[in-house]
Every structure is written in C-alpha cells, then in structure tokens.
Amino acid sequence: MIPIFEPTLTGREREYLLHAIDTGWISSQGEYIARFEEQFAAWHGMPHAVAVSNCTTALHLALDALGVGPGDEVLCPDLTFIAPANMIRLAGATPVLVDVEPGSWAIDPVRLAEKISVRSRAIIVVHPFGHAADMDPILTLAERHGLKVIEDNAEAPGGRYRGRLLGTIGDVSCYSFFANKIITSGEGGMVMTRDSTLDKALRVRRDHGMSRERRYFHEVVGYNYRMTNMQAAVGLAQFERLDAITAERAEQAERYRHLLADPRIAWRPSQPWCDPVHWLATITLRRAELRDPLLAHLKREGIDCRQMVFPVHTAVPYASSHADADFPVSMDISFRSLHLPSSTSLESADLERVCDAVLGWVNLNDSQ
C-alpha cells in the first residue's frame, strides 16, 4: 500500500530526541522547547511563539487569551477540519460558519461581511491545504468592526500572501505539527503573536493558569496545553529543514500536475496573490458521484487516499442550525475532491503508479 502520508525524519530528529532522553528532560521543561519557540518566532520575524500540545489546543488558547467567551460569536470557514468550530464552542462562544471562495477554498470575504453582527468578536481564518486566504479584505472588515483575527496556519507554514508570511498577518496564529503536516513533532502546535501582553496570557493559560512570577499561585483558569521537550526536539529538527521540505514538496506538486494533466481532473486552484506551499495532493473531479468510486478503486489498487473533509455544517453538533443551501461552494468542493499520497519519500515510480491508476479509472468512467 502506498500510504497517504508518512513523516520524513532525515534530519537531526534522532540526535535531539536521544539527547532529551539522555539528559532526563523529557517533560514540559527543557532546552528544546525554548529553542523551538525562539527559532520558530525568529524565522517568521515575530517576537513571540508559544509551543503547545497541538493546534486544536492552540486555537482554544488563543480564543481564551483574547477574552472570547459566552455571548460572543466567532466567524470561521465551513470547509475546514472541525477543530476551529469546536474550539469556539469550547470557549463558550457561538461559531458562525461562512462559505468559502471557489478560487482559494478559503473563507469568502463577501460572505463574511454578510454574517458579521453586533455579537461578533473574532474571525478564525484558515489557510487551507497550503493556500492563503484573501487577507486584505478580511483585515479591513476586522478593523471596521473591531474584530480580532486568528490565523489557523496548520496546513501552510512557509506560505505567503502578497509577500507576507502566513501566520504574521493577524493578531495571533496557530500551527499544527501532527504527523501528517509539513513539519511534525508527532503531536504538537505553536501559537505566535506580536503582542507581549497576549504572549504572557498565552503562557499563563498554557500552564494551568499559574503565575510566571509566583510558582503554584494561579492567576486565572488555565489548562495543561504544554508541549514536551521530546516533542520539541523532533519539532526543532524538522523546522531546521523547513525550507528543504517545502522545496521537495513543490517538486512533488509540479510532478503531479504534469502527470495528471487532463481536463477531467482539476488540481486545487491557486491565486496570483498567494505563494502556496504543497501539503496534500488534492484533485477535484467533474461530478460528485465519481469521487467515492474512485477512492474505492485506488484502495483496491493498493493506493491509500482520503476524501475531502465534510463541511463543518454537516457535523451532528452543527447540522440542526444550518442548511446545505447556505454553503454551495463548500458542499461542491467537498463532495468532488480527494487527496492522493503526498509523502516526500515517494519515488517517481510511486507517483506514476498513483496517476496511472487515477487516469485509467477516469478514462473508463468519465467519458467526455
């Protein structure tokens, strides 16, 4: 089976991890946490980065530190993994789902403007599948209505919007280092901000609400959202290779585009104002009824693959208050799209095998 994704651990991951183990610093204190935070922030030109247990906790931490709570509304895209909506709920606020743009698959600024209300407090902007959201109109709306902007950059570290690094544009940004992300620490995440007051609030809440000046004195309700030194050791080694990894991934994307050049198969779109990074190889078929049979065919051929995430509004906790007709773009993209194997360890023969299987099935089942 060609896997959908495997981490490539070819840097100093083993060296750093064994050093953390050999020195006994295996929990939530140790040099690798500080080094990972400092280097991650410096590479982005940001003053503050806070390592956390995963991107989901990063989102909750950001919302809590920004003061989002009961009575508030937070806007987020409908076509995304469900974590942003769930964390808005966990913060006590109401998620307001917004359809996405067909040209970027990110939150649609026009639809966003229509859904802002007097209760709106923040916007979670997801940069999907390595591509930026259209940030300028979003920032204009946020300034006009006094809203905070949280960038969910789990899938696009190193991507740029009009020359600006993603994660450096909003008030706070969140990252994922899960095993299938561009860089990994197994599990793990990061929160970045320029605001020193917010940085302190994030750090206090990450560690049970404990004062940073007075140990075991708890200032606020907090959480155990800490990253371990072992995770940070792996994450730091991965981060040291981020530029090389994204370059390898760009080569893979170009190879896929060449091999799958067929009018019946669309590669995920890209806008001229974005310099995307390649996360998952994603294709969209002409008709929704073709997607699941192709997935089944590929798996029979020994090729792991994944359907696109379902729109958030279709999940049981949110379905009763939303209708499919309100999200035509996210519905269309979701049910026509799938992800192909995307590990950087894949050889040319593997990519050719995947693409031959896709094209062979399309030739038999999607006539012109």
* Calpha distance 278→253 (Å, rounded): 6
Q: Please work out, in degrees rounded to the nearest 5, the angle formed at the alpha carbon of residue 357 by the alpha carbons of 355 and 363.
A: 100
The residue from 115, 148, 181, 299 that is catalytic is: 181
Q: Are 173 and 159 in contact (CB under 8 A)?
A: no
Under 8 Å between Cβ of 132 and 173: no
Q: How many CB atoms lie within 10 A of CB 260?
A: 20
**In 108-241, at which residue ranges do the beta strands (DSSP E only) sit?**
120-126, 148-152, 160-161, 164-165, 172-176, 189-193
φ, ψ of residue 160 to 5 degrees: the values are: -135, 150
Q: Is the torsion defined by CA of 307, 265, 104, 253 positive or negative? A: positive
- Give the pair of three-digit tokens for residue 141: 């709306």
Rg from Cα positions in the chain: 21
Comparing CA positions, the residue from 58, 30, 250 lying closest to residue 167 is 58
Residue 169 phi, psi (nearest 5): -105, -40
181 is catalytic: yes
* Whole-angstrom distance, CA of residue 358 vs CA of residue 290: 11
Helices and strands in the chain: count of H runs, count of E runs? 13, 14
Question: How far is CA 191 from each of CA 199, 229, 310, rounded to the nearest angstrom?
Answer: 9, 17, 26
Integer angstrom CA distances of residue 315 from 54, 75, 82, 99, 300 = 22, 17, 8, 15, 28
Any idea which residues carry the catalytic annotation? 181
